[in-house]
Structure formats: structure tokens, C-alpha cells
Amino acid sequence: MYICFARGLAVLARCGLGSLLPFPPPVHPSPPVAAPFRLRPNAWAGGSTAAAPPRGLRDPPPEARPSCPSTPLGCTVSSVPLLLRPAVLIVSPSFPQRMSSFQLNLNPLKEPLGFIKVLEWIASIFAFATCGGFKGKTEILVGCPKESHDNKTITASFGYPFRLNEASFKALPDVNVCGIDWKTQVLIGDYSSSAQFYVTFAVFIFLYCIAALLLYVGYTNLYRDSRKLTMVDFVVTLVATFLWLVSTSAWAKALTDIKVATGHNIIQELTPCKHGVTCSFGSVTSMGSLNVSVIFGFLNMILWGGNAWFVYKETSLHSPSNTSASHTQGGISPPTGM
């Protein structure tokens, strides 16, 4: 109602009828377009007070207020100083926060990727334990031509890393049999490179399986969301499969040569046995555990080769469109192999 009354007075002033009014028409400055204003009804004859300014805004001092004519109507519209405050825009990401803290989740162990990784971990333990912990000996019987008593036993001990050229013979008790210093007689061959390569690689695989299992069960979301982790796991799986084939084949060839060097053929390589001393092969420690190490080497190769498919399904190479869409929309791609 106050606005209509004020507009009517303004129309009369424009038409030149302002002199007919008992009071001069109020001048209303045009407010800014974007600046909000409020109407403040002045005190009428009833003695009502003006409305309080909004919270946070103070009335201007008396000298800064617009002057109003002393009329019964007074000012009808009062400007309110506009206080601009900087707006803080809080942008929340549309994608869920990745889980960077350790959270135990045993569900991946029930799926092929995690279950096969446990088998690989166990198989690597048997691989380096059966090879690295081996100790054996070979025995020969020596008979002196000038002595009629029983033959003496000469023993050569060997073990990992199978440097047979450092394994010397000795008699028990430590005496020179037939007047020969048997400590100068050693086995033939050095197969440490193949054995150490096989055992060292198996130990590294053992450690990698532990790290991968911790990633699977403790940081499942981080593994599935990250393209780099899945790709690194896939590349390591392929390289490990190839190295299992190489190391196991080299170790199997070395084991064959070790059996020959510590078997019956050792008699033909000993110099005293060629010069009048009667030598015969006694026994050699069973190498069944070394055979088991070769079996576990090829078993590891099969496990890692089969697991490569399940690791491949976790990478973006298997379903690049779905993975790209999930990363763009901020969602978590559904598990494919876990």
C-alpha cells in the first residue's frame, strides 16, 4: 500500500500538479538493480516504531540519514546500506574418497586372484626351502694294496650352494689312508650360479606374495581403483612366470650334473684311484628333496601363468571402456577377477 501511495505522488509531480499538494513530493532515488531493499513504515499517529534492521546490519548515523520533511506522512521508503559478503563455494568431489587406510577384508582370498596368490606364496616356500637347506655327502671305499685289513671310508660333504670343487675328501678318523693326503682331493664342478639364482628368485617371489596379499586384503579399494597397481601386478606376473621357467630349467640341469659328479663316476676322477689304490663307490645321500624343489619350481611356473589371466582381468586392458567410464564418473569399477 505504501508503494502505491508513493507512486501516485510521483505521478502527480510529473504532471505538474505537485503545487497542489500541501507538502512537496518525496524524491525516491532509484535503487540498484541487484541491491535488495526493504520498506520501513514510519511512525504513524498510533506511535508504532520502525522495523529493526536485519541482523548484522547497523543503522547509519543520524547525520548520514536522508532528511525527510516534517509532514504527517514522513518518509515512506528508506534505503538500507547493502553489505556484501564474500560467498564461499564449497565444492565436494563427485567421486568417493579412496580408501588409503588399512581395512582388513578377507573376501579377496575366496576369489581366484587372492586364492592363487596364497598357493604361490606356499609353493615359493617349498621351492627355496627344499633347495637351500640341502646337505649331503658321498662316500668311497679305499683299499691299500700293501695292507690286508678292511677298506677305509673316505667321505666328501657338500650342500647348498653346491660348490663341489670346494668339497674335499677326508677320512674318519682324520688320518692319511694309504699314505695319501685326501684333503687335496675334491669333487668336480661348481653349480652355485644356478642354485643361487633359483633360491634367490624364490625368496623374492615369497616377499612379493606377502606384499600382494597385504594389498589385496588390506587395500582392496585402492588396488581396484588404481590403474597403475593392477598394471604393475600384471607385468610382474608375466615376468615371474618367465623367470620361473628359466630358473627351474637351469636348476634342473645343474641337479642332473650334481648327481653325476657325486655318483659312481667320481671314482674315475680321483687321481689316487688311478695309481694302485683300490677304490669303490660307497653311497651318496638321497637327493629327493632336490627333486621336490624342481617339481615346485615348475608348479610355481604353472600357478603364475594361470594367475596372469585373473590379474589381466583387473587391468584396464581387459575392459578399457568400463574402466574409463568409472574413473570419469568417479565410481568404483566392479571387480572382474577378485
The C-alpha atoms of residue 259 and residue 29 are separated, in whole angstroms, by 110
Any domain includes 178: yes
Nearest CA to 106 among 220, 212, 211? 220
- Position 142 scores a pLDDT of 87
- Position 134 scores a pLDDT of 94
Number of domains within the chain? 1
Any domain includes 317: yes
What is the SS3 assignment for 168?
A: strand
Asked if pLDDT for residue 155 goes beyond 50, the answer is: yes
Asked if pLDDT for residue 43 goes beyond 60, the answer is: no
Nearest 5°: the CA angle 253, 256, 258 is 110
Any domain includes 75: no
Any domain includes 1: no
List the domain range (segments joined by +) for residue 204.
107-329
Any domain includes 51: no
Listed range (170-179, 196-205, 229-238) with the worst mean pLDDT: 170-179
Summarize the confidence of residues 84-100 as an average pLDDT: 47
Any domain includes 262: yes
Other residues' Cβ atoms within 10 Å of the Cβ of residue 181: 13
Other residues' Cβ atoms within 10 Å of the Cβ of residue 26: 18
Q: Tell me the pairing of strands 278-284 and 135-143.
A: antiparallel
Any domain includes 18: no
Any domain includes 335: no
Summarize the confidence of residues 132-155 as an average pLDDT: 84
pTM > 0.85: no
Summarize the confidence of residues 43-62 as an average pLDDT: 49
